[in-house]
Amino acid sequence: MNELKGKVAVVTGGASGIGLATVEAFLEKGCKVVLSDYDVESGEKHVDRLKDKGEVIFIKADVSKEEEVESLVNEAVEKFGSLDIIFNNAGIGAQGETHELSYEDYSKVIKINQDGVFFGSKHAVRKMRENGGGVVINTASILGVVGEPTAFAYNASKGAVVMMTKSLALQYAKDNIRCAAIAPGYVETGMVNREALGEYYDNLVDKHPIGRLGQPEEIAHAAVFIAENEFVTGITLLVDGGYTAL
């Protein structure tokens, strides 16, 4: 098992939901954590709240911009001396009829969900090769594995993440770098809850045989498992309450 105490972890999209839960989970394991997000106010607020739990800093980054992701990785290494884990988690959702989808809206989803994984992986791997290894964890989705009629751009981006993960795992195994993805089902967050979704909430629950939506902490636990287990690489770990078993 990979001992996480003292390891340096970067989490993108770390100011809310799955990302924030994973920041907290890595801190509990004794990691030094960089919480990165586009939302400066929320990011700094959570870092201030979590400081008594371990070494944690905030670095702003828009993952759709390569120069900002490169700067994020470089700053993390400058602050903590190395980079052992990156969780490419930042992402956005989008729904709508494909024939009415603008290229601008399509491109925004691809730039954040897909390009963000490329930029994070590219620059993290450069540092990890220098350090003798590391772990790249990507947030995919159940919609990277199964289709959704009104999620064309999101399906495209998350399906790409699944295959990018396999490619990275094969390329860099020789460098002691592991890469795996997590494919969550629908998870209770600020955007996915009964108040926000109304009657559609129950429809989502019905798609999960386990009878409920996931919790951010359950996805964070999967990220910790991937980081710790040295025989795990190239997989997409479904944490979906049975959604894709239907």
pLDDT in tens, the chain (246 residues): 889 999 999 999 999 999 999 999 999 999 999 999 999 999 999 999 999 999 999 999 999 999 999 999 999 999 999 999 999 999 999 899 999 999 999 999 999 999 999 999 999 999 999 999 999 999 999 999 999 999 999 999 999 999 999 999 999 999 999 999 999 999 999 889 999 899 999 999 999 999 999 999 999 999 999 999 999 999 999 999 999 998
CB 19 within 8 A of CB 184: no
Catalytic residue annotation: 154
The one-letter code for the residue type at 30 is G
Residue 40 is given by DSSP the state: H
Contact 113, 12 (CB under 8 A): no
Q: What is the rounded CA–CA span in Å between residue 34 and residue 59?
A: 7
DSSP-assigned states of every residue in 72-99: HHHHHHHHHS---EEEE-------S-GG
Q: Which two tokens stand for residue 131?
A: 């350090």
The b/e string for 49-70 (b: 16+ C-beta within 10 A; e otherwise) is ebeeebbbbbbbbbbbebebbb
Query: Which stretch of DSSP H or E encloses residue 178?
Result: strand 177-184
CATH of range 8-239; options 3.40.190.10, 3.40.50.720, 3.30.160.110, 2.40.30.270: 3.40.50.720
Closest-CA residue to 54 (of 74, 34, 27): 27
184 Cβ contact partners less than 8 Å away, ≥ 6 residues apart: 18, 139, 141, 142, 214, 219, 239, 240
Helical axes 17-28 vs 216-228, angle rounded to 10°: 50
Q: At what angle do helices 152-172 and 116-131 cross, to 10 degrees?
A: 10
Domain ranges of the chain: 8-239
Provide the β-strand partners of residue 60: 37
**Has this prediction a pTM greater than 0.95?**
yes
